[in-house]
Structure 1
């Protein structure tokens, strides 16, 4: 396979340069703006706080509860605007409380207002959050759950107080082994038959890392309701189920939590999910594109266990993996890294190719070529091909 080349001259195809369809696309988009989609109306009605979110800004999988994917094909920035950031909800969006309570074991219920949390030292981090079910749609045989493609991921700057600082105000008994986090959202899961709230726990040592936040800002603004505001837990590097939204209560536990979303969901072989598995996605060119022989490649790569060390490319499934030359380090260890190639040369004209992209993190974890099937469809980070044809 020819090595990846990146020369300043001779670029034949790059994002957004197809002027032949520009006017037609503009007219079509103007039509969409004049007649809001039913999804847009639903989002406004459902207390969507990031403004008028057009259907084309997200891929809406379900309306109630609201689940929507980031449009990766529209993603070029290092961070995802709130109105384009994926949304995962299990129940209807609640009105989030403006305070939380810490209790459990020997700790009397201790309330903390939003203002009290904001008075603590603030910390900001750029974090990539990914739903554990991202990629579920590609499993065979099919499994239940939201049929996420690859867009259940987004990157944003989260600002808040360190959870460790919040907990300094209470005495944590020595027998504490986990912290339980409860959100204000509640409902009845189909296969449970009774009403519950969303709850997840963290081992005490993981919870007391200084990078675990009780966040109140997303991209410098109050966290929108659909993203878990006013208060949301942020656990960098872990799948999104750990970052409990609409946070209302933290409970100290002397035994492992065995609630529905800890033992029946977000598990593989009975073990609760933790770190995000490495993944790289190509956002340009899109799958099925007809391209010039020299083209641009743009994508993002991320991993929760360690920063991405390199991104590799293979053509047509051969075993010759080439390291992508331009990998931009993310602004934090927990943010995705952008990779680009300005002039990737393909041999031949009027030929079809399948491009494979995979991520390798600094801990040696490599994105697999084949899915690892499990009954609930979690952590499917297998490489997905991008099929293109070179224009004759």
Structure 2
């Protein structure tokens, strides 16, 4: 494990760590505090690493890091969220990493459009999915032998120009924890699609049925299983801080995001009042980044108050009061409140 700096560690080996709440107020998350999710120990890779590109293609090949660097570079600023973010907010708490609400970050990734690499290989006309295979692997309690991390994308998402093979984060080469030397970045999807330590890209003519597509990173509700894909609409309040102090007249700020479309509305409510107050929306730093919101509220004359937020996207999806519980605890986008002490603003 590499050293975790300015992160709240959820598990040390392999490293899983959240962005601290106090650092989630910036449009761009400080690079040392971008959340980390690892399923296995870090693979041992170096500058001689090659990415194999094959499957249903006319001209399979392998590409080196210098060859990647020589291709046109693309930069995408993305809000990336772990599918398990908010797992501890479910009742009962499902199995899996005990994520609170900090497994989400926004930063800029740089690399080569996946489309560029696939077009060079010459995709067969009947390709349906592109499989990304990581170099990380290890045992799992519910699988035989060693399991390698792999996830597939529908061809339309794989060929989007802003789906990239990234080699840099925040302007510097990827760290080992963030998937060095190369990883996928898939805007709008939960983080499991952005395969780290990318070792192979494979064009598939039939749907992929691997472990992390059918047994993990799936919504398992009463035995019905569906792979986790795009990020659900969600919001979070970043100021005042949960558990902090604020005056009765308070400016509430936060972020909202969705993998299904732009944010069109954020509403706030206080305690159990049935009245929702519409917040003002700001401009996100990119089409794939969270949208800022802000509203002036007058809190009740009481010792504490709970402030709720809910977001709606262009596809008409609105955060539910409570999500359908699923066995593995993914996609928790239920409306969440923060509780603050009402008084002076010290300790915010």
TM-score by length of 2: 0.92
Corresponding residue number in structure 2 for 1:125? 76
Q: Secondary structure at the match of 1:227?
A: coil
Could you tell me whether the CA contact under 8 Å between 1:117 and 1:166 is conserved in 2? no
Could you tell me whether the CA contact under 8 Å between 2:268 and 2:276 is conserved in 1? yes
Match of 1:308 among 263, 268, 283: 263
Corresponding residue number in structure 2 for 1:296? 251
Q: Do residues 366 (structure 1) and 315 (structure 2) align?
A: no
Aligned partners of 1:239 and 1:362: how far apart in 2? 18
Corresponding residue number in structure 2 for 1:64? 13
Cα deviation for residue 88 of structure 1 reads 0.4
Aligned partners of 1:293 and 1:270: how far apart in 2? 46
Q: Secondary structure at the match of 2:28?
A: coil
Unaligned regions of 5+ residues in structure 1, if any? Answer: 1-45
Cα deviation for residue 108 of structure 1 reads 5.5
Q: Secondary structure at the match of 2:67?
A: helix
Q: Do residues 334 (structure 1) and 285 (structure 2) align?
A: no
Could you tell me whether the CA contact under 8 Å between 1:96 and 1:231 is conserved in 2? no
Aligned partners of 1:345 and 1:103: how far apart in 2? 59
Q: Do residues 345 (structure 1) and 298 (structure 2) align?
A: yes
Higher share in strand: 2
Aligned partners of 1:347 and 1:252: how far apart in 2? 58
Look at both structures and tell me which one has the larger radius of gyration over its CA atoms.
1
Corresponding residue number in structure 2 for 1:318? 273
Q: Secondary structure at the match of 1:300?
A: strand
Q: Do residues 217 (structure 1) and 171 (structure 2) align?
A: no
Could you tell me whether the CA contact under 8 Å between 1:96 and 1:247 is conserved in 2? no
Cα deviation for residue 260 of structure 1 reads 0.2
Aligned partners of 2:317 and 2:45: how far apart in 1? 37
Structure 1 residues 277-292: aligned runs within 5 Å: 277-292=232-247
Could you tell me whether the CA contact under 8 Å between 1:217 and 1:223 is conserved in 2? yes
Cα deviation for residue 116 of structure 1 reads 1.2
Match of 2:142 among 191, 204, 210: 191
TM-score by length of 1: 0.82
Could you tell me whether the CA contact under 8 Å between 2:54 and 2:121 is conserved in 1? no
Aligned partners of 1:142 and 1:390: how far apart in 2? 30
Q: Secondary structure at the match of 1:270?
A: strand
Taking a change above 3 Å as real, the CA distance of residues 346 and 224 of structure 1, as seen in their structure-2 partners, is: same
Corresponding residue number in structure 1 for 2:208? 257
Match of 1:381 among 311, 325, 333: 333
Could you tell me whether the CA contact under 8 Å between 2:21 and 2:241 is conserved in 1? no
Indicate the larger mover: 313-322 or 147-156. Answer: 313-322
Cα deviation for residue 128 of structure 1 reads 0.6
Q: Do residues 266 (structure 1) and 220 (structure 2) align?
A: no
Corresponding residue number in structure 2 for 1:88? 37
Could you tell me whether the CA contact under 8 Å between 1:306 and 1:333 is conserved in 2? no
Cα deviation for residue 106 of structure 1 reads 5.1
Corresponding residue number in structure 2 for 1:355? 307
Could you tell me whether the CA contact under 8 Å between 2:57 and 2:121 is conserved in 1? no
Cα deviation for residue 387 of structure 1 reads 1.4
Cα deviation for residue 67 of structure 1 reads 0.4
Aligned partners of 1:96 and 1:300: how far apart in 2? 36
